[in-house]
Each structure stands twice: as structure tokens, then as C-alpha cells.
Structure 1
Amino acid sequence: MTDKIRVAVTGAGGRMGREVVKMVLQDEQLSLAAAVSPSAGPVDAGVLAGAAPCGVAVSPDLESALAGAEADVLVDFTVPQAVYGNTRMAIMNGVRPVVGTTGFTPDQIAELDKLCREREIGGLIAPNFSIGAILMMKFAAQASKYLPHVEIIEYHGDQKLDAPSGTSIKTAELISEVRQELRQGNPREEETIEGARGGYYNGFRIHSVRLPGVFAQQEVIFGGHGQTLKIRHDSYDRAGYMPGVNAAVKKVMTYVGLIYGFEHVMD
């Protein structure tokens, strides 16, 4: 690849966004085209990320940043309330979205896919960019063919805004593709405290734990006659997501349409 991929980062002042900025600055195939953070103020994006100055000033506004950036790709790690608008704005400007923020509805994903195809660009929405987490989801889907009684427990810090996590929902979707709906538990089961059994999805339950001191973990627990199987993934640092984000930025340049799930672009 002779020309560098020009990458804009929105949410650049957040913990994930700062890691993305550092990743882009460290890769010779990538170039930082813009960095957006409404709350960061006029500061160099490299300095904001804890790296050396890079000559790109942080912008408070995505629309104006995209207008002057000539970006190829927009990486979004913001908040569920803003992500749909950010993604649509990127596509309308001919910029390929690579999105790690959750909160899309199926109708929104379908609309964004249509817009990408109309503009002949690629896009990716991925609840999780961790290669280990993707493998955990794949293993869970495979296990559910043989052990259909399953529950998911996901753990995150107490400042996470959405529950259940996008990773647990994606895991549940992959399981449901190969497992027929099976309503688990005693048919006369009764919750004496509302929500005690977790969120209901296609016959099984998803439980969300929110505590300080926790980063990101997920267990998929299968039960069978005289046995259980637990598949667990633990993330300890945001830098662990960056190899996946890096691969996604490069891959999104090679296809047309919006893909949901990082597993679909892994080699």
C-alpha cells in the first residue's frame, strides 16, 4: 500500500479514543487526518493521547472536522446517544465508519448499509474488537449446538452506560443462529425480585454486572447432564483492542457495504 490511509478519530479524548490515536500515529501505513472531542479544547491530538505532538489539532465538532480532513476512515468510540448520527454523517461525507460504540437498532444498521452501498464504500460496526473475545463468541456458538442450556454473565465497570453489553448481545445472536429457541428453567419459575433471572433472550438469560474495579469480562456457561462448560474472556487493558481496530481500518478499505461484527472481517 503506497498511500497512507487517512484516519479521523471521534471520541479522541476518551480512554479508547486516546488509544486509537496512539495506534494510528505508530503505524506507518496510517495517517491521522482529524481528531474530535467536544470537551478536550484546543490541544494537539498527540499530546491529548499521551504521545508526542503530531500537528493535528483536536476539533470540537465532527462535521467541520470531516469537511476539511479528507479522511478515508472514521473510527468512533463515543456514546450510544451520538453514534448513529456520527456514523451517518461519516457515510454521507464518503468516509468509511469503523465503529466500536454500541446502541444501533437493526433498522439503523440496515439503513446505514444501504447508504454505504449507494456511495460504494465499506463500513464496520463491531461490539468488540478483541480477537480473544471474537474467539470466545465463536467457541460459544459451536458449544451451543451440543449444550443448548446456556446463560451469559458479563462484567464491566460501574460507569458503562448500556446493559447488557454489545459483546453479550452479539454472543447471544451467534448462539441463536445455531440453537433453536429453548425456554430454560422450571416452567413455574417465579422471580420474587424483578430482574433476578437477568434479561431474556431467545429462551436464555443475560446477566450484567456493574462494579468499580472491573474492566471487561464475559462468561458463557453451558449446563448438561452431570457437567458444565464455561467459556470466559477477560480484557485487562484497552490497548488489547488496538490490533483489531488496526486490522479493521485497513480491511474496511477493501469492500462495499456495512458489516456488523468484527468476526466477519477476520482472516
Structure 2
Amino acid sequence: MIKVLVAGFDGSMGNKTTNMVIENDKFELAGVFSPFAGKDNLREYTEFQDQNVPVYKTYEEVAAQKNDFDVWVDFTVPSAVYQNVKFAIENKISPVVGTTGLTDEQLVELKALAKENEVGGLIAPNFGISAVLLMQFAKKAAEFMPDVEIIELHHDNKLDAPSGTAVQTAKMISEVRTAHHQGNPNEKETMLGARGADFEGMKIHSVRLPGYVAHEQVIFGSLGESLTIRQDSFDRSSFMTGVALAVEKIGNYNELLVGLENLL
């Protein structure tokens, strides 16, 4: 049994993850974590009345029981994710992280820390299989169609923009695409931000509307033709296959990986 702690269990993705861990015969829900939790045991929540699982509110509480956990699944908030992952690695708990907001500099530091502690971990901009495939397809397409823009669409409660998935898509495309400006070199925005964010000449556009969950399209343009690759996640349950895969496999590694595709 893989012993799992879910950080951010009181959020939408954390709730889905908590239920997934409970229902998976290979996993044991050993604890949940949230500094803002108002209860001490998961069974105090109506939804989880049959679960005798401690609710941890501080790092010190978790550290005192660190041998009880194999994997720290993190669906918290961008402002907390760096410290959470650092804490997990230092205590030799493998982090599986869906929270966005880590900077490139923080990733470099956390990768070095994981290597030093010989702890496997995964930072995944997206746990949806369709999103992982979209990024792979987009990277391949960019070899032949280097003019590209990205549109990502999410629910209106999402905190960060652009999404981690869109940024990771742009990074993967940049591996095969020479950076260059797209559009008229003399273009002028008559309204600030009309052309979107800029990543090495690629434009990224963020949509935030009620009714959406997580969606992305990558649009390529070439002489006389275009190509659009799109994925849609209509329900957060679509991410649970990837989360379960990561929880099951991450113990076989001793480094911090970025992207679910590394485990497929």
C-alpha cells in the first residue's frame, strides 16, 4: 500500500484526489493537510464520515509523522506550493504536484534538492492524458509550422494566468522552434494586452469564464493552411487517471520530473 497525504484536500482538485485515493486499492489515505482546516479528523466532514484520517495543519505535525507518508499530493495554491514541495523533499516524502506557480529558478533549486535527498517527485502542469498528448502533438507540429499561438480557457476562479499547461506547451514548442516575432513587425496595440502574453514571440491568450473547467487550443498558421490542436477537460475527474499513475510510479524515481509524459 502506498501511503498518501493530500495537501489542499479542501479544494476542488484536492477533494477529487482524496476520494480517488480512498477508492484505490493500491493506496492508503494516511493524512490530509490544510493550514486553514477547521477540524482535526476527516471523519468530522459529512462527506467522509467513515474515514478515520488525521487532518494536519502545520509542517511540524507532518514532520512528526513523516514515516507514515510515501507521497505528498499537492493541489494547494501558487503562494504555498514552493514551500510545500521543499518541505516534502526535505522529509523524503515524494511530491506529486498539480499546483502551478513555481518559477524556473525554484524548479532548478527543487530539482537539486530532490537529487541531493534521492527523492522522486513530479511537477505536472496537467494530469489530463488529452492535455499531455496535445503538448506532444504541438511540439511535433511546430517542427514544420513554427508560427503558432496558444489559447487556454479555464473557469473564472483560477488564480494564475496563463495556465501552467499553456506555459509548458510553449516551452516544449520552443525546443524545436527558433524564437521569432509573429504578426506585423509594426503592429500596434490600440488596447493594451490585445495580442496576449509573449513567450519567445509566441502569443498566449487566457480566457476566464464560468462554465469552463480546463481547455487549450494551439493554432498553427502557414502559407495557405492552418492546423488547430485542441483538448477539453469537462470534469476534474479526468485528471485522476494521471494523478493515480503518478502516485503509483513516482517511488521508482530519485529525481524531480516535470511533466506527466515522463511517466508514460
TM range (shorter): over 0.9
Correspondence for 2:14 among 13, 17, 20:
17
Structure 1: state its 5+ residue gaps.
none
Correspondence for 1:200 among 194, 198, 203:
198
Distance (Å, rounded) in 1 between the aligned partners of 2:70 and 2:46? 21
Aligned to 2:253: 255
Aligned to 1:26: 23
Residue identity opposite 2:4 in structure 1: V
Q: Number of paired residues? A: 263
Distance (Å, rounded) in 1 between the aligned partners of 2:134 and 2:207? 19
Runs (4+) of structure 1 exceeding 6 A deviation are: none
CA offsets 1:188-214 (integer angstroms, 9 cap, x no match)? 111111110000011110000111222
Correspondence for 2:148 among 113, 136, 150:
150
Aligned to 1:65: 62
Give me the identity figure in percent: 49
Distance (Å, rounded) in 2 between the aligned partners of 1:229 and 1:49? 48
CA offsets 1:119-165 (integer angstroms, 9 cap, x no match)? 11101111101011000110111111111111000011111110000
Aligned to 2:103: 105
Q: 1:228 to 1:165 in 2, by over 3 A?
A: same
Residue identity opposite 2:27 in structure 1: L
Across the aligned residues of Structure 1 and Structure 2, the Cα RMSD in angstroms comes to 1.5
Structure 1 range deviating more: 220-229 or 43-52: 43-52
Q: 1:222 to 1:47 in 2, by over 3 A?
A: farther
Structure 1 range deviating more: 58-67 or 159-168: 58-67
TM alignment of 1:1-267, pairs within 5 A? 4-42=1-39, 44-45=41-42, 48=45, 50-51=47-48, 53-69=50-66, 70-266=68-264
Q: Verify the 8 A CA contact 1:42 1:57 in the aligned structure 2.
A: no
Structure 1 range deviating more: 37-46 or 19-28: 37-46
Q: Verify the 8 A CA contact 1:101 1:127 in the aligned structure 2.
A: yes
Q: Verify the 8 A CA contact 1:148 1:179 in the aligned structure 2.
A: yes
CA offsets 1:73-105 (integer angstroms, 9 cap, x no match)? 100000000000000011111111110001111
- Name the SS of the counterpart of 1:249 in structure 2: helix
Distance (Å, rounded) in 1 between the aligned partners of 2:210 and 2:24? 33
Q: 1:82 to 1:126 in 2, by over 3 A?
A: same
Q: Verify the 8 A CA contact 1:10 1:77 in the aligned structure 2.
A: yes
